Amino acid sequence: MNKASLQLRDGSQTNLKVSPRRGHFCLVLRTVPILGIVFLFFLSGCKQEPRVYIKHFKNKDYQLRVDGRPYIVKGICYSPIPSGKNHEYDWWSDPRKPWLVDGKLMQEMGINTIRLYQAHEDMEKVKTVVGDLYEKYGIRTILGSWLGFWEYPCPFYGDKKFRERVKQEVVDMVNSLKGEPGILLWVLGNENNYSCLGHVNPWSSEEIDREPDPQKQKALRAEVYYSFVNEIAEELHRIDPNHPVALGNGELVGLEYANKFAQKVDLVACIIYRGRTFGNLFRSLRATFDKPVLISEFGADCYDAYAKKEDQNMQAFFLESQWRQIYENLAGNKRGMGNCLGGTMFEWTDEWWKHNPDNPAGWSEHDTASNWTNGSYYYDIKVEGNKNMNEEWFGIVALSPGRAGELDIRSPRKAYYVIREFWKKPDLNNKKKKVKTK
């Protein structure tokens, strides 16, 4: 058997088996280069990391692309804290791997993305979770960073050393995980913008303290914070050109400053609780901070605080209405603004620790007390004190304690099925009957 070698485009060589029959040899010689190129293209395609980017259309619509194909984020916020534990529980290290049970249920529903607010400090564990979900169920991960927001004492965005340390942590995280094919994009911060108003985790600096006008103080804080996010985004683009970087933001508060100081982010990931609609959010963004938007936290609880009973219909009604608006504002839909990339609803499973995080006894109780009020979830707003939002009841999957040593039992709620059907056949007709409640 004779052998011939063929120089390929990339400079490498490959050996060909040569047929003793000349005609065949010529055919092979003509065909092999083409096949080789195709083969190499395929090969290189296999090796290449999935590239995620946002396509900007001429009509100013925005669309997320993954491996060159449109990708609607049909996502869920994921924090699988079991009953009896609180937010400090290390579910990443759970040998029962709850994400495998959840991933299967998610896949059956049609979820293609989870959102994690913060990575575990052990990047190998993160790789395991991200890899398992992607390889077994095709579910990608949006990974965030709190940007030090929940450290104690308060975040010091005015302090250069603090900023440098937080930035390095994010850079390290991205360097560790950017090669994971299951990563979809990065989110910087969550509702950190509220700290600029002093509403939560207030912080300052000498320069800010010298300013007597509180409005100017707010503007100075916003400049510091959004410039910091911008700086990180710029660095992440340098080290990882394959994944977009989002600015996490509570509502649209402060985005007029982001427009000035955070242009390097690729999109904004907004936390929105406005009941059955997002109002004019999509239009308003066009005017204030014209970036693609991911609704990175939204949803509804399923406990009627007024009737004092679970109401799965109420949750399903709000969620379906919210998803309808998200779809109306995807690229190419003339009814909307074309600037939405999808959403990650809040949340997968209930979290039983939330009503009173400091009381371990309460972590094993599914508390029905309400923590806050929001009139746009109007079915139960008449409850005494108007506290109608039940923080422990936002899961689209209910938990009930499993047998000793076993995971909590997962029971999908009505919203799980309603949204599953909506995704299968998105019906944007808003004139459907309201879901009957109570």
Partner 1 sequence: MKKLVAILAVLALAIPVLASAQTDTTQKEFVVYSNKNARNNHYIPSGWMGDTGDIKMNDQSADNPKDGATAIQFIYSAKKTQGQGWAGVYWQNPANNWGNKKGGFDLTGMDKLTFWARGAKGGEVLQKVMVGGIKGTYPDTATVEVGPIELTENWKQYTVNLAGLDLSYINGGFGWATTSDLNPDGATFYIDDIKFEVDPTLKPEGKKQEAMPFYIYSDRSTPRNHFIPSGWMGDYGDIKYDGASKEDPYLGDSCIKIIYNGQRAQGSGWVGIFWQNPANNWGTVDAGFDLSKATKLTFWARGAKGGERIEEFKVGGIMGEFSDSDSVVIGPVLLDKEWKQYSIDLKGKDMSYIIGGFCWAANVDNNPEGATFYLDEIKFE
Q: Mark residue 308 as left, alpha or beta (left: phi above 0; alpha: psi -120 to 50; beta: remaining).
A: left
Q: Report 255-274 residues binding partner 1 (CB under 8 A).
A: 274
> CA-CA distances (angstroms) from residue 370 to 70, 238, 373, 383, 399?
40, 45, 8, 10, 18
What is the gyration radius of the CA atoms in the chain, in angstroms? 25
Is residue 65 involved in binding partner 1 (CB under 8 A)?
Answer: no
Non-local (6+) Cβ contacts of 238 within 8 A are none
Identified binder of partner 1 from the candidate list 23, 95, 375, 405, rule CB under 8 A? 375
Contact region for partner 1 (CB under 8 A) — 38-46, 114-122, 141-149, 279-287?
279-287
Q: Kindly tell me which of 42 and 378 has the beta carbon lying closer to partner 1.
A: 378
Is residue 202 involved in binding partner 1 (CB under 8 A)?
Answer: no
Identified binder of partner 1 from the candidate list 120, 178, 218, 387, rule CB under 8 A? 218
Q: Which helix (H) or strand (E) holds 435?
A: none
Q: Structure tokens of 153?
A: 């004492």
Is residue 332 involved in binding partner 1 (CB under 8 A)?
Answer: no
Report the C-alpha gap between 294 and 145 in whole angstroms: 16
Is residue 438 involved in binding partner 1 (CB under 8 A)?
Answer: no
Q: Structure tokens of 92?
A: 């990443």
18 phi and psi angles, rounded to 5 deg? -105, 125
> CA-CA distances (angstroms) from residue 133 to 46, 87, 276, 398, 430?
19, 21, 30, 21, 34
User: In whole angstroms, how close is the CB of 318 to partner 1 at the nearest point?
Assistant: 11
User: In whole angstroms, how close is the CB of 212 to partner 1 at the nearest point?
Assistant: 8
Contact region for partner 1 (CB under 8 A) — 30-38, 65-73, 227-235, 374-382?
374-382
Q: Which of 420, 53, 278 is nearest to 270 (CA)?
A: 278
Identified binder of partner 1 from the candidate list 24, 51, 60, 283, rule CB under 8 A? 283
Burial class (CB in 10 A: 0-12, 13-18, 19+), 386: middle
Identified binder of partner 1 from the candidate list 19, 227, 376, 437, rule CB under 8 A? 376
User: In whole angstroms, how close is the CB of 187 to partner 1 at the nearest point?
Assistant: 24
CA dihedral over 430, 332, 418, 118, signed as positive or negative: negative
Burial class (CB in 10 A: 0-12, 13-18, 19+), 171: middle
Q: Kindly tell me which of 87 and 283 has the beta carbon lying closer to partner 1.
A: 283
Contact region for partner 1 (CB under 8 A) — 118-126, 335-343, 372-380, 394-402?
372-380
Is residue 210 involved in binding partner 1 (CB under 8 A)?
Answer: no
Identified binder of partner 1 from the candidate list 2, 13, 59, 215, rule CB under 8 A? 215
User: In whole angstroms, how close is the CB of 325 to partner 1 at the nearest point?
Assistant: 13
Is residue 288 involved in binding partner 1 (CB under 8 A)?
Answer: yes
Is residue 213 involved in binding partner 1 (CB under 8 A)?
Answer: yes
Identified binder of partner 1 from the candidate list 381, 401, 412, 437, rule CB under 8 A? 381
Is residue 33 involved in binding partner 1 (CB under 8 A)?
Answer: no
User: In whole angstroms, how close is the CB of 261 to partner 1 at the nearest point?
Assistant: 19
Q: What 3-state class would DSSP assign to 426?
A: coil
Q: Kindly tell me which of 72 and 389 has the beta carbon lying closer to partner 1.
A: 389
Is residue 275 involved in binding partner 1 (CB under 8 A)?
Answer: yes
Tell me the number of residues near partner 1 by CB under 8 A.
20
Q: Which of 385, 278, 391, 394 is nearest to 326 (CA)?
A: 278
251: preceding bond cis by omega (within 30 degrees): no
Q: Among the residues of 110-154, which ranges form H helices?
A: 123-137
Q: Kindly tell me which of 36 and 275 has the beta carbon lying closer to partner 1.
A: 275
User: In whole angstroms, how close is the CB of 317 to partner 1 at the nearest point?
Assistant: 12
Is residue 387 involved in binding partner 1 (CB under 8 A)?
Answer: no
User: Contact residues for partner 1 (CB under 8 A)?
Assistant: 212-215, 218, 274-277, 279-280, 283-284, 287-288, 374-376, 378, 381
